[in-house]
Structure 1
Amino acid sequence: MRFFQFLKTSFFFRLLIFMLAVLFIPLIILVVNTQGAADASIQKQVSRINEQVVGQLMERIELTMIQLQDLGNQYGSFPTVLSSLTSTGSAYEDSVQTNYLSATLDIAASVFHNDGDLGLFRLRNEGLTTSSNVSYEDRERFSKVASNFLKSGKSWRYMNENVDNSGRSYYLRRIPFDTWQEAKGILIISIKNSLYRNLIQRVETDNKGFFTLVNAQGSLISSTNPLSIKDAHSSAQALLERWKQLGQSSQFLFNERLVLIKQSKQYDQVIVISEIPAEVLTEDTRRIRQFVQYWAVLLAIAGFISVLGFAFYLYRPLLAVRRHIERIKQGHFAPVKVAPAPREIGELSHTLNAMSVHMQTLLSDLKLSEELKRRTEIKALQSQINPHFLYNSLNTILVYTIMGDYDKIKSLMGSLLSLLRYSMEHFEQHVPLEQEIAYIDDYLHMLELRYERAFVLETEIDEGLEELLVPKLLLQPLVENAVFHGILPLKELNGKLILRVARITEGDQISISLTDNGKGINEFELAQLRMGLLLEATGMHIGIRNVWDRIRLVYGPEAEYEFTSSIDRGTTFLFRFNNKLD
């Protein structure tokens, strides 16, 4: 588990992974693209050759059909054929004509080298004369085919029988050819499907595939597929179905075979199907793949060793630099010994050393400057308190002097001396909370003598916070503000102030609040007070401004304040801050 944690956080491991990725990702892309390009190139070449072969085969088939048509036209107008369609009136003469016709048909059939036969169907007596090699079953089939053709009303037709029947194709020609003349006979040219097989086999091909010929209805004419006739027929049906689904696309992949289908635009629209197994396509690319993979493995091994060595060469000085940076982040700016390293990394180490020394000097100067600034600001804020307080105190003594009340003057002078001694001793230091409260008691006693009104201070302090260190004279501006702006305007009211000091449960936060029973502050003035503290405005609410500034200087910018007030019911000033003085 620790090992995997080390790998997760190790700079060397991440550097190694990055460099290996830089090496292997382009290498993998190169291998994949090379193999893909080889496959595409060979498939394109095979497809082009296949297109040429199928086109050549289709040309041979259509040429054969043209020859059949020419042969039909030639013998359809042959005198012996035409004369046999009309009876001579003599049985002997008719027999002689039939013998001449049979000999003529044998001559014509010899063109096909036992792959074809001819026949003439006479309408006058529904007689059929064929070449000599036609069997009785084929004669019956000839008569049936001729009858079906006659019903079509066409002048000629090329048609195929279903493979489960005879495995033959037929070219039929009406005699006479023109349909406006009365038909007298039908010339039948029968082609065995072996002729098409010979045509396929004579087509030179290096693609090691096989061909299938079907008619427009999908019936098998001939095939070089090594499957049985039934399976070859089923395979052809599936390919034609897929071909139609793809919008009769000429070439497509089907069951790991490259299939090319082309349909003749002439005669009976015969369809040629070429199939090339997938292993034929990949046979030529296998050697290329092996060659590319062999060199890819060699390059990967060599690259891995090189990357490992280079990464280790960079690892040690970079690790030293990283540790140096970590020390700087933790506040340790002492220079470190620079280990031997490549030039750039060595310069970086020297630069870090110089930077850390400079940063140490700057931080020392900044710390001293901030401390002097903080002390100066606290002095300025405390100096705002003393003149203001002295003015009010001396003004009170003056009033009693005029009145000649020497007992009160004596009491006031005693309280004033006690307050001045407290404010002047140990200047700038923080004092325990209980001393600050004692100071507030003396201050309120002096105000009672001056205004002849009672001012009661109640305290609610959490246990253990009596010794809480607070800035000296922190509470006096709050008490003065509560008395002069809240209680004294209500002429007949004795003053009551409640000081609450509590420890907030979340974290080490302290809250100090002072509540009076004075006249209160309306919402508009309260909003002005909050806005003045937010915008750090001067010239208004000097006492509250002074307390808030001192709290932020001593306890930090995280300090918060909250002011609430109700008319004729009093005002509460609350401050929250993190205790940083214990």
Structure 2
Amino acid sequence: MSTMMLPFFGFLTRSFYIKMILVMLAVSIIPLIVLSYISISVSSSTVEKQVNRLNAQLVNQVVDRIELTMSRFRELSEQYSRISSIQSALVSPSSQYFEEVVRKKDLISVLSTASAVIGNVEGLQVYSNITGEVLSSDEAPSTLERSPFKPLIQEFLAKGQSSMFLDKSSHPELKILQNSTYYIGRIPFEVYEDMRGVLLISMNNAQFQQQIENIQLGSLGSVSLLTQSGVTIATTSKLERSQDDVRTRSILAHWVSLGKPTQFEMDTSIISVKQTKTFDKWIVISEIPSQELTQSADIIRKTVTYFLLALVTVGGLSVIGFGYQLYRPLQAVKRQVDAIKKGNFDARVTYFANNEIGDLGRMLNAMAVRIQDLLSEQQESEDMKRKLEIRALQSQINPHFMYNTLNTIRMFAMLKDYDNINTLMGKFVSLLRYSMENYDQNVPLQQEVDYLQDYIGLLNMRYKYQTKLHVDIEPPLEAMYIPKLSLQPLIENAVFHGILPKKKAEGHIHIRVYTQSDDASTVIEIEDDGIGLDEAQLEKLRVHMQQEQLGENIGLKNVWLRMRLMFSKEAQMALFSPSDQGLLIRFLLPPDSVRLKEVQHEQL
């Protein structure tokens, strides 16, 4: 039995999987237990601090709402006291009864519209200091003596202020103040102008109740809005009104005795108190009993305990499963590395994890594929080099060109034109020497251009049509290396398929070589002014250039393949043929592929 257990224990001591599981359990579960203990230990103080902070924020938000409402009262009073339709209605009665009725009707319409637009006010009233009438947005016009707003208007007129705020604590005996709050302002609002009347804006206290009634502070907590004298405007307390008044007076007395702090403890509750800074000086009280805090702390302790047990169980199982998910792709990568080490590049990782190990497996697969592709490309490149070398040798001197040149020399000999014979023979010998004696497959650009000058010179002597070769090469690109005889087939095509068929006395071929300023790529352009190609022929030629077979257009295709072999597959070729303007062939060579100095070149 012990003999059978030894390999197993050896596996346990050596296995990366077992060690990883133990480390992950220690790293994940032990801190979780410590964190749970700390959470349970500090839950009570944390809950209390958070509740205090939230309680203070709650009081500040309610105060901000109240101050915003009161500031809005003042702004509305100033705004509507300046409305021309209201001021124009506060004038002496007209002798025309109909005009007076229309003026009052317009004023009441303005007040009704304003009340509807504002939305949360109870109504708007205007007292005319000239006629002694009170016009309202929701009541029939009446004299001041018969108006329920008489005490408010008289007090305002007696004080001589530009505005005044009145709530239920201002005149407890007035029923009109029991359910509403009023802001009163003069018309016009500026004190340096003669007063024409008074504007009253009323708001039902139920609006303030709506602002606080959705605030939840537990079954025993409450928020109360009081006047400066301690009269309740709105409250969420579930106590009877008399009991709630005793509670609020006791809180205010304790608050004043402590120097009016923003937060304090009283009996078994946490109290937050804040007084508004606007003209109303209302007071907001928020009370949260300690019993609510105790219940919250108990809930946290139980919740943390249950979650700790659940997380430890789930965490242990997850660690084991996660460890296996890491171990499995690691083994697959190990097998892949062993296969590549032995030269088996067909081996592949078949299982990929969604992590760095999976990325490593994908990279190993890509590396194996890339190695196979490189080996295949190397073989294809060698085959292509041999084929292109044969093609290049075949295209060095066209036999027909040689026969025609010799025949031209014979004709000049019969005419005894020894000067032309000498010129022809000189150029012809130069062509033969360049094509046959120069065994380098890559030559400087200037050397290729010199060869083209001799070639064009021979053609001009053979045909009555003259071809002009224009060369514009940007220094120092004259020294760049290109495949030997790579431009001659293009010049030959330009002459015989473009310029001669056009049947003009003179044709032009432009060779331009320059460096692009944006990406430092080298551009080689060969352009003629021959007949060019129509769109269908041009598109057919472009498609043929993308194919691997040589087929027709051997010269152009051979040049393009040799260019790609020398300047990498990033090299590009473009064909353009504007209508009746010849053909433009453009090669775009990558900047790092152009060689200017004479070095040991690779053979194509």
Instruction: Please report the TM-score for the alignment, with normalisation by the length of structure 1.
Output: 0.41
User: Computing the radius of gyration over CA atoms, which structure comes out larger, 1 or 2?
Assistant: 1
Instruction: Please report the TM-score for the alignment, with normalisation by the length of structure 2.
Output: 0.40
